[in-house]
Amino acid sequence: MKKVTNPIRTARVQKAADENYRVKTLEMDCDLPQALPGQFLMVWVPGAGEKPMSIGNSNPLTISVAKVGKVSGELHALKAGGMVSFRGPFGKPFNIPERAKRILVIGGGYGVVPMYFLAKVARENGIAPLAVIGARTAKDIVWEKQLFTVCKEVFVTTDDGTRGKKGNVLAEAQWLIEGKKIDAVYACGPERMMEAVAQLCVAHKIPCEVSVERYMKCGVGVCGSCAIDGKLCCVDGPVFSAEEALSFAEFGKSRRDASGRKC
C-alpha cells in the first residue's frame, strides 16, 4: 500500500492569545521538529477551507492568524482546547550562509512571525540576529516581545510614529546594512517592502531572501494556483532569493485574488 507522506494531523490549541485587534496566536499541544523557518502549514477548517499559514515556532507548534476572511475568521475564533487540523510542513525554508555570524531579519505585519522562528534557530546555532519590525501603528505590531527573547537588538518602526521610529523599515534596514557587518538579510511582509529590501541588498551585494505570498490551494505543486512567473510559490518558494524575486515581473506590483483576477 502507498504510504501517505503528508497526512492531515490534528492538534489541540493549548494557548490562544490576542496579539492585537486583528491577529491571534495559536499555540498547539504538539511539536513539529521537522519544520524549518520559512516553511508553512496548510491549515484546514472543515466547512470553511484550507489556507497556508507560516510556522512561527516548531516547539511548540505555533501560528499567528490575521482575521481577514472565512478560514482566518474561523481560526481566530478558536480558544484553548479547540482543535486545528493541518498538513505540512511545506515549502522551501530560509538558508543561512555557512559562515554567517550576524543576520538581519525584517518583518512587516504578520510577516514578523516566521522571522521569529528564523531568529530563534539562528541564535541556537550561535548566530546573532538583529531585527527590524514595521507596522502601520503601534496597535498593529505583533511578536515584538518574542523577538526580544532571541535577538541582540530589535528596532521598531511605525508609519504614524506611534511606536519606535516614524516611517517604514527601509531606513532602519539601510543604516544597519551600511553600519554593521551583516552576513545575510531575510524579509517577510508587504511585497513593496520586500521589493525595496531586496533591491537594497542586491545593491550592497548582501545575500537576501524574501518570503513571497500567493493565493494557494493545494500547497504541494499540483493545482498551479500560486504560480508566479513560471514558478510555484508553494514548492519553489515561498522563500526566494532577492535576485529571483526581483526577476518576477509581478513581484511588488500585482497578484491574483481568490477569483483569479489580478489586483
Ligand X SMILES: Cc1cc2nc3c(=O)[nH]c(=O)nc-3n(C[C@H](O)[C@H](O)[C@H](O)COP(=O)(O)OP(=O)(O)OC[C@H]3O[C@@H](n4cnc5c(N)ncnc54)[C@H](O)[C@@H]3O)c2cc1C
Residues that bind ligand X in the complex, under the rule CB under 6 A: 40, 49, 51-54, 63-66, 68-73, 110, 113, 213-216, 238, 255, 257-258
**Alpha-carbon distance 123 to 146, whole Å?**
13
Residue 68 or 203: the one with the smaller Cβ distance to ligand X is 68
Q: Where are the alpha helices (DSSP H) in 36-111?
A: 70-76
Residue 47 or 179: the one with the smaller Cβ distance to ligand X is 47
How is residue 29 written as a grid cell? 499541544
**Alpha-carbon distance 137 to 100, whole Å?**
33
Q: How far is the CB of 258 from ligand X (least distance, A)?
A: 4
**Alpha-carbon distance 117 to 108, whole Å?**
15
Residue 73 or 97: the one with the smaller Cβ distance to ligand X is 73
Residue 40 or 155: the one with the smaller Cβ distance to ligand X is 40
Q: How far is the CB of 152 from ligand X (least distance, A)?
A: 25
Contact at 8 Å (CB) between 21 and 50? no
How is residue 100 written as a grid cell? 554567517
Q: How far is the CB of 250 from ligand X (least distance, A)?
A: 12
**Alpha-carbon distance 255 to 228, whole Å?**
9
Residue 182 or 232: the one with the smaller Cβ distance to ligand X is 232
How is residue 263 written as a grid cell? 489586483
Q: Which residue is nearest to ligand X (CB)?
A: 69
**Alpha-carbon distance 142 to 226, whole Å?**
26
Residue 69 or 161: the one with the smaller Cβ distance to ligand X is 69
Q: Is 140 helix (H, G, I), strand (E, B) or coil?
A: helix
Nearest to 41 by CA among 63, 59, 26, 20: 63
How is residue 18 written as a grid cell? 490576542
